[in-house]
Structure 1
Amino acid sequence: MQPDVMLVAGMGLVVLSLPAILSAWADRRAPRIGTLLLLGGGGLILWSVRSKEGGYAWADLPDVFYGVVGQILN
């Protein structure tokens, strides 16, 4: 898997984990699934940053995101 795709997938998992964690806390349940999503997304982000030579800058993130979405849609 390409580092850019891993980064976007990790960001997606992290974003999806937040409502799951908040919902579990509101219902006074343990946030198991949300935590797994957060750890998986964080792991993918870390793996992608370490896989890409030179890493990513904050200014690169929109270009990476739109590039991956463009690859998926084409």
Structure 2
Amino acid sequence: MDPDLAFVIGLVLGVFAILSLVSAITDARAPRVAAFTIVASGALLVWAIANKPGGYSINDIPDTFLRVVAKYLA
């Protein structure tokens, strides 16, 4: 798997996990799915950062996101 793709999937999963966590807490439910999604997101992000030479900086995130979306949707 391409590290850029793993990074973008990890970011998207992380956003959904935060939303799921907030929803579970406000409904007084155990955030089991949110916890699993956070772990999966973190694993993807760590793997992507470890496998890309030089890693990612904050300024690279929008460019990487757009590049991956353009590559796989076009």
* 2:25 equivalent in structure 1: 25
Q: CA deviation at 1:45?
A: 0.4
Q: TM-score, normalised by structure 1?
A: 0.95
Q: How many residues align?
A: 74
* 1:9 equivalent in structure 2: 9
Report sequence identity in percent. 38
Structure 1, unaligned stretches of length 5 or more? none
- Runs ≥4 in structure 1, deviation > 3 angstroms? none
Q: TM-score, normalised by structure 2?
A: 0.95
* 2:45 equivalent in structure 1: 45
Structure 2, unaligned stretches of length 5 or more? none
For residue 50 of structure 1, what is the amino acid of its counterpart?
A
Measured in 2, the distance between the counterparts of 1:19 and 1:11 equals 13
Q: CA deviation at 1:2?
A: 0.4
Measured on the aligned residues, the alpha-carbon RMSD in Å equals 0.7
